């Protein structure tokens, strides 16, 4: 079975079902469908997403519509909301969301629902791979029993693996195909079959000994970032109290050719992964009576950064004898990072709410996010006209999109708080050289 399965998955004609066509699923669809002998069936519960893919459109910024349209016209990619069609697939990758609940516990309901769909259609010989980030044990404790309730056995009748997605939206260099991909199965045979298949459309596969090792690898990567960002954010608070320029310190430290990795401070963590994934590990470890202290501390410091930025706005307004209450504040950028349209967990939302709670009139400009809904109201990006910039009592750079002319922003704004060091990074003359690089003007 193993040799024939490996041969089938590494060279045969394969239909790959991809469950969840979002930031992770759609790029995977395109990369897999480009490989010889692989046809992709994308499955999503949202009919609008299915219709859009079938019409040859991409709703994900990193995936060009021209590519979706080409693969559609060549018959290599199709989308459906009919989950029973999972039975047509030789392999299935699950890319559904893994958010936190209101109490910041893992919400694995999407994995559960997707697993039920896969179990209902499970076929002998199928390869099932979970790509959604989750706590160590998810694949074996949640998926395996549900799939084996069919009477089929993993490693014998079907293959089950965990292989975390490492997509970095907006990254021009590292995409799904050229980023090495870790994979671990619930049995050694599962790992072998999974790696043999993914090698057809991922340049480098990194097999590990178990699904749990692969699950923990992904959470280690994201916790590493959350903790190091927490460290530089705390260094920013420390530097501010000491009257030292944190960016100067970080740039100086980064000249060390070994043993230091550069992270930069900012308005707080954002995105679907880094603020969320470490809490999956914390939750799991609480069930094992262990407290993940690094995760808690980093999360606490990072969550305080929006308040720190609002403090800088208050200070900047204060310099011209203004209060936050009644002031017009313009936020530049609401996406969680530069040059993307993703607002999930963006610290801009916290900054907006904190300023509004203090009575400010807040508007925003973001070239990538034309409108968004928050607490049942719709906010729309205002055009970045000279009037908008000069009429605001304070402008706050929350996201350093590269299309914004920061020289113009500096020239026209009355007070400017730069939470990303964007003005200095753009090489603009006349930026005050002093410890308070956060308040560039005011
Ligand atoms: N976005 C990233 O940069 C990124 C990077 C690495 C890993 N991840 C992980 O990948 C997973 C997916 O994240 P994403 O950003 O692609 O999410 P997303 O919200 O962009 O997309 C998920 C899609 O799944 C669909 N869906 C939900 N439940 C479904 C079901 N039962 N059956 C079929 N479709 C269903 C939704 O309609 C949606 O279109 C998460 O676990 C996330 O942590 C995300």
pLDDT in tens, 318-342: 999 999 999 999 999 999 999 999 9
> What distance in angstroms lies between residue 37's CA and the mean position of ligand 1's atoms?
26
Residues 332, 9: Cα–Cα separation, whole Å: 48
| Residue of minimum CA distance from atom 33 in ligand 1 | 44
CB-based contact 282:297 (threshold 8 Å): no
What's the pLDDT score for residue 414? 96
> What distance in angstroms lies between residue 148's CA and the mean position of ligand 1's atoms?
24
- Please determine, for residue 432, whether its predicted confidence score (pLDDT) is greater than 80: no
What's the pLDDT score for residue 1? 58
How far is Cα of residue 386 from the mean position of the Cα atoms in its chain?
A: 33
> Within a 10 A sphere around the Cβ of 259, how many other Cβ atoms?
5
What's the pLDDT score for residue 433? 61
| Residue of minimum CA distance from atom 13 in ligand 1 | 97
**Mean pLDDT, rounded, for 406-416:** 95
> What distance in angstroms lies between residue 131's CA and the mean position of ligand 1's atoms?
9
Global pTM exceeds 0.75? yes
CB-based contact 30:104 (threshold 8 Å): no
Atom of ligand 1 nearest to the CA of 46: 37
Confidence of residue 272 (pLDDT cuts 50, 70, 90): confident
> What distance in angstroms lies between residue 399's CA and the mean position of ligand 1's atoms?
23
DSSP state of 140: I
**Mean pLDDT, rounded, for 75-94:** 98
**Mean pLDDT, rounded, for 95-116:** 95
Atom of ligand 1 nearest to the CA of 113: 31
CB-based contact 131:163 (threshold 8 Å): yes
- Please determine, for residue 426, whether its predicted confidence score (pLDDT) is greater than 90: no
> What distance in angstroms lies between residue 441's CA and the mean position of ligand 1's atoms?
40
| Residue of minimum CA distance from atom 1 in ligand 1 | 23
Residues 6+ positions from 191 with CB-CB distance below 8 Å: 161, 183, 184, 185, 207, 208, 209, 210
> What distance in angstroms lies between residue 181's CA and the mean position of ligand 1's atoms?
17
Atom of ligand 1 nearest to the CA of 277: 43
What's the pLDDT score for residue 2? 74
What's the pLDDT score for residue 172? 87
| Pocket-forming residues, ligand 1, beta carbon under 6 Å | 19-25, 43-46, 49, 95-98, 110, 113-114, 132-133, 165-167, 169, 272-273
Q: How distant, in Å, are the alpha carbons of 114, 279, 294, 300, 344 from that of 232? A: 38, 20, 14, 13, 22
* Site to substitute for ligand 1 among 97, 162, 171, 343, most atoms within 8 A of C-beta: 97
CA-nearest of 416, 440, 439 to 329 is 416
Q: How distant, in Å, are the alpha carbons of 17, 46, 60, 73 from that of 52? A: 17, 10, 11, 14
What's the pLDDT score for residue 139? 98
**Mean pLDDT, rounded, for 130-143:** 98
What's the pLDDT score for residue 434? 59
Mind listing the pLDDT tens digit for each residue in 225-270? 999 999 999 999 999 999 999 999 999 999 999 999 999 999 999 9
Average pLDDT score, the chain: 95
What's the pLDDT score for residue 143? 98
* Site to substitute for ligand 1 among 49, 272, 337, most atoms within 8 A of C-beta: 272
Atom of ligand 1 nearest to the CA of 49: 39
Q: How distant, in Å, are the alpha carbons of 328, 403, 417, 431 from that of 424? A: 24, 15, 12, 7
> What distance in angstroms lies between residue 420's CA and the mean position of ligand 1's atoms?
28
* Catalytic residue list: 273
Mind listing the pLDDT tens digit for each residue in 339-394? 999 999 999 999 999 999 999 999 999 999 999 998 889 999 999 999 999 999 99
* Alpha-helical runs (H) found in 103-258: 109-121, 138, 144-148, 188-198, 211-242, 246-253
431 vs 135, which has greater pLDDT?
135
CB-based contact 345:275 (threshold 8 Å): yes
Residues 177, 185: Cα–Cα separation, whole Å: 20
* Site to substitute for ligand 1 among 17, 21, 44, 109, most atoms within 8 A of C-beta: 44
């Amino acid at each position: 079975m193993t040799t024939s399965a490996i041969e089938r998955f590494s060279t045969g004609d394969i239909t790959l079902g991809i469950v969840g066509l979002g930031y992770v699923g759609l790029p995977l669809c395109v990369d897999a469908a480009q490989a010889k002998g692989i046809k992709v069936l994308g499955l999503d519960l949202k009919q609008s997403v299915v219709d859009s893919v079938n019409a040859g459109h991409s709703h994900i910024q990193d995936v060009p519509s021209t590519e979706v349209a080409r693969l559609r016209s060549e018959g290599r990619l199709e989308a459906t909301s009919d989950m029973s069609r999972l039975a047509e697939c030789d392999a299935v990758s699950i890319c559904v969301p893994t958010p936190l609940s209101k109490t910041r516990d893992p919400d694995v309901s999407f994995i559960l629902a997707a697993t039920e769909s896969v179990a209902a259609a499970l076929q002998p010989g199928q390869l099932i791979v979970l790509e959604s980030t989750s706590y160590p044990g998810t694949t074996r404790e949640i998926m395996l029993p549900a799939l084996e309730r069919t009477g089929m056995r993993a490693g014998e009748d079907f293959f089950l693996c965990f292989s975390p997605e490492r997509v970095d939206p907006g990254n021009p260099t590292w995409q799904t195909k050229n980023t090495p991909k870790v994979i671990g199965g619930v049995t050694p045979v599962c790992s072998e079959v999974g790696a043999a298949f993914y090698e057809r459309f991922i340049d480098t596969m990194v097999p590990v000994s178990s699904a749990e090792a692969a699950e923990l690898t992904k959470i280690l990567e994201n916790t590493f970032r959350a903790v190091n960002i927490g460290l530089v954010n705390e260094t920013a608070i420390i530097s501010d109290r000491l009257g030292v320029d944190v960016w100067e310190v970080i740039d100086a430290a980064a000249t060390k050719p070994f043993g230091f990795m550069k992270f930069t401070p900012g308005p707080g963590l954002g995105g679907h992964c880094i603020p969320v994934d470490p809490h999956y590990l914390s939750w799991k470890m609480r069930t094992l009576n262990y407290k993940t202290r690094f995760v808690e501390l980093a999360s606490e410091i990072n969550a305080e950064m929006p308040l720190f930025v609002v403090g800088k706005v208050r200070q900047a307004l204060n310099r011209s004898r203004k209060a936050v209450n009644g002031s017009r504040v313009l936020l530049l950028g609401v996406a969680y990072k530069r040059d993307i349209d993703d607002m999930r967990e963006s610290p801009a939302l916290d900054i907006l709410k904190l300023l509004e709670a203090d009575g400010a009139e807040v508007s925003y400009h973001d070239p990538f996010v034309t409108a968004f809904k928050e607490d049942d109201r719709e906010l729309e990006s205002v055009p970045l006209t000279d009037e908008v910039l000069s009429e605001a009592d304070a402008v706050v750079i929350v996201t350093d999109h590269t299309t914004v002319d920061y020289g113009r922003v500096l020239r026209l704004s009355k007070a400017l708080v730069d939470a990303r060091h964007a003005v200095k990074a753009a090489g603009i003359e006349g930026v005050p050289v002093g410890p308070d690089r956060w308040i560039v003007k005011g």
